[in-house]
Chains A and B, each alone.
Chain A
Amino acid sequence: MIEYESVTKIYGAGSKAVTATNNVTFTIEDGESAVFLGPSGCGKTTMLRMTNRLESITRGTIKVNGEDIMSMNPQQLRLGMGYVIQQIGLFPNKTIAENIAVVPRMLRWDKARIKARIDEMLNLVNLDPGIYRDRYPVELSGGQQQRVGVARGLAANPSILLMDEPFGAIDPINRDQIQDEFLRLQGKLKKTIAFVSHDIHEAIKMADKIAIFKDGLLVQYDTPEAILMRPANKFVSDFVGADRALKVLGLLRIRDAMNPAPKNLLQANEEAPQALRMMEERRLPFAFVIRNSKPIGYITPKNLKYEQGRVGELAEKFPETLGTREPVRDALAAMLMHDLSALPVIDDNGDLAGAISYRNIQKSILELYTEDQDD
Chain B
Amino acid sequence: MNLITFLQDNYAQTLFLTWEHIWMVSLSLLIAMAIGIPAGIVITKNKVLAQKVLGGANVIMTVPSIALFGLMLPILAVIGHGLGKVPAVIALVLYSLLPIIRNTYIAIKNVDPALVDAGRGMGMSKFQLLREVEIPLAVPVILAGLKTAAVMNIGIAAIAAYVGAGGLGVFIQQGIARSHETMILAGALAVSLLAIIVDLAMSTLERLVTPKGLKL
A interface residues (Cβ-Cβ under 8 A, vs B) = 52, 54, 75-79, 83, 85, 87-95, 102-103, 106, 136-139, 152, 162
Contact = CB atoms under 8 A, between A and B. Distances in A.
A334 B210 CA distance: 55
A152 to B, nearest CB: 8
B216 A79 contact: no
B128 interface: yes
Given A136-B213, A138-B213, A138-B216, A93 B137 contact: yes
A54 B123 CA distance: 10
A120 B120 CA distance: 25
Question: Which 6 residue pairs spanning A and B have beta carbons closest together?
Answer: A89-B118, A87-B114, A136-B213, A78-B123, A83-B121, A93-B211
A136 B212 contact: yes
A65 to B, nearest CB: 16
A157 B145 CA distance: 42
Contacts of A89: 112, 114-115, 117-119
Contact of A106 (B112, B123, B136, B216): B123
Contacts of B136: 93
Interface string B125-141: 10010001100110000
Contacts, number: 75
A138 B112 CA distance: 14
Contacts of B121: 52, 54, 78, 83, 85, 162
A149 to B, nearest CB: 8
Contact of A85 (B114, B123, B211, B214): B114
B216 A75 contact: no
18 contacts: A54-B121, A75-B124, A75-B125, A76-B123, A78-B123, A83-B121, A83-B122, A85-B117, A85-B121, A87-B117, A87-B118, A91-B118, A94-B213, A102-B132, A103-B123, A106-B128, A136-B212, A137-B213
Contacts of A91: 115, 118-119, 132-133, 213
A79 B123 contact: yes
Contact of B216 (A88, A139, A152): A139
Contact of A93 (B124, B125, B214): B214
Contacts of B118: 83, 85, 87-91
Identify whether the interface residues of B are mostly helix, strand, loop, or mixed: helix
Contact of A103 (B115, B120, B122): B122
Contacts of B137: 92-93
Contacts of A102: 122, 124, 132
Nearest to B210: A93
Contacts of B132: 91, 94, 102
A78 B128 CA distance: 14
A343 B89 CA distance: 88
Contacts of A52: 121
A287 B122 CA distance: 58
A152 B121 CA distance: 12
A80 to B, nearest CB: 8
Contacts of A83: 118, 121-122
Nearest to A91: B133
Given A78-B120, A136-B212, 6 more contacts: A75-B123, A87-B117, A91-B118, A103-B122, A103-B123, A139-B216
Contacts of A54: 117, 120-121
Interface in B128-171: 128, 132-133, 136-137
Contact of A79 (B112, B122, B212, B214): B122
Contacts of A162: 121
Given A136-B216, A137-B213, A78 B114 contact: no
A76 B122 CA distance: 10
B211 to A, nearest CB: 4
A157 to B, nearest CB: 14
A92 B213 CA distance: 5
Contacts of B123: 75-79, 103, 106
A68 B192 CA distance: 66
Contacts of A90: 118
Contacts of B214: 92-93, 138
Interface in B192-216: 211-214, 216
A274 to B, nearest CB: 69
Contacts of B120: 54, 78
Contacts of A103: 122-123
Contacts of B213: 91-95, 136-138
A7 B114 CA distance: 25
Nearest to A82: B122
A78 B122 CA distance: 6
Contacts of B124: 75, 102, 106
